[in-house]
Structure 1
Amino acid sequence: MPNQTYVLTMARYNLWQNENLITAADTLSAAERVQDRGAFFGSINATFSHLYWGDMIWLSRFAGTPAPTVGIPQSTGLADDWQAFKADRKAFDQRILQWAHEVTPDWFQGDLSWFSGAIGRDVTKPKQMLVMQLFNHQTHHRGQIHAMLTAAGARPGDTDVPFMPDEYLTM
């Protein structure tokens, strides 16, 4: 089950992969990034945006960081300014990594309760499950982004955890 070692590894992987995919996305034009490509959230930009939104929601629940002020339907608009998004995403990935360094073993015990706008009701689930959701949600949407980037002619780098460069393993 998840523990600090798991969240540190996944936070490092998150940072690496966001940099990987953003670098590949930078090879496309703005029009190519916002083109509807048939993914759940439509475009590369919109999917990056929703992923960022989801990370902010989960970290607000885990660490008390500010939550986004919009819901899922508006979650696709956070990357409209590509340059600002890149800076915000990088800073937030560092915040996730900081949380991973600071989380204590006892944090993983017990449940977390919140109101879910997605299903319109209060929810209580084990923290260990929810921390897996944070990182699984990232992987799911980054997979969509990777597929859209590849279809658009961009070439992201490696994505496998064992191939994470050493520089990320010590962050």
Structure 2
Amino acid sequence: MHKSDIETLIAYNFWADNEILTACEQISVEEFTRPVTPNPGWHSLRGTLVHLLDTEYGWCAALQNLPDAGVLREEDFPDVASLRTRWQQEEAAWLTFIAEMDDAALNAIWREEGTIQRTRWQTILHVINDGTYHRSEAAAMLTGYGCSPGELDFEGYLVWQGM
């Protein structure tokens, strides 16, 4: 995997996150925080997004062997603005991390557990794919509230970029 490919995928990931957050700004705090049915596993739109942010945070820290401050808690984000602020910090952390990478570092094995080995790029791709999954859940909830975030696929990002 090449650094430029990972940079593009990470930019896509944060673009899509931002599209979800922008759609969330159109709903009430009550809708943002209320339990949803069927429950996708994180109780609410806020819960789903906090889980998504926590995944991005946790893996970024793990990839750099940084201490992890623990799981982000839903109640620490009373509204979309507080979540967006924390997400901007995470985006900056990822961009700084990737800027310091080269192709060799991305392709190097960074994690071994028994016979399982993972390169950095494989783990980053996992984070991006997990984000796609949970953003889809969030998009379905938002659509139910009448605030669809629109197309969030990679092609949409490339068109948005003028590529």
TM-score (norm 2): 0.83
* Structure 2 counterpart of 1:58: 59
C-alpha separation in 2, matches of 1:123 and 1:27: 47
Aligned residue identity for 1:126 = R
* Structure 2 counterpart of 1:13: 12
Greater Cα offset, 53-62 or 128-137: 128-137
SS at match of 1:112: strand
Between the aligned residues of both structures, percent identity stands at 19
* Structure 2 counterpart of 1:117: none
* Structure 1 unaligned regions, length at least 5: 115-121
* Structure 1 counterpart of 2:137: 144
8 Å contact from structure 1 (residues 15, 93) kept in 2:
yes
**Does structure 1 residue 86 correspond to structure 2 residue 78?**
no
> 1:77 Cα shift?
3.9
C-alpha separation in 1, matches of 2:122 and 2:150: 29
Greater Cα offset, 6-15 or 16-25: 6-15
Q: 1:113 to 1:75 in 2, by over 3 A?
A: farther
Aligned residue identity for 1:166 = Q
* Structure 2 counterpart of 1:22: 21
SS at match of 1:17: helix
* Structure 2 counterpart of 1:125: 117
Provide runs of 4+ in structure 1 moved above 4 Å: none
Aligned residue identity for 2:130 = H
Q: 1:57 to 1:166 in 2, by over 3 A?
A: same
> 1:129 Cα shift?
2.7
> 1:152 Cα shift?
1.3
C-alpha separation in 1, matches of 2:76 and 2:126: 21
SS at match of 1:28: coil
* Structure 1 counterpart of 2:161: 166
Q: 1:162 to 1:54 in 2, by over 3 A?
A: same
C-alpha separation in 2, matches of 1:86 and 1:44: 14
Aligned residue identity for 1:93 = E
SS at match of 2:52: helix
Q: 1:7 to 1:78 in 2, by over 3 A?
A: farther
- The size of the alignment, in residue pairs, is 157
* Structure 1 counterpart of 2:93: 95
C-alpha separation in 2, matches of 1:146 and 1:113: 35
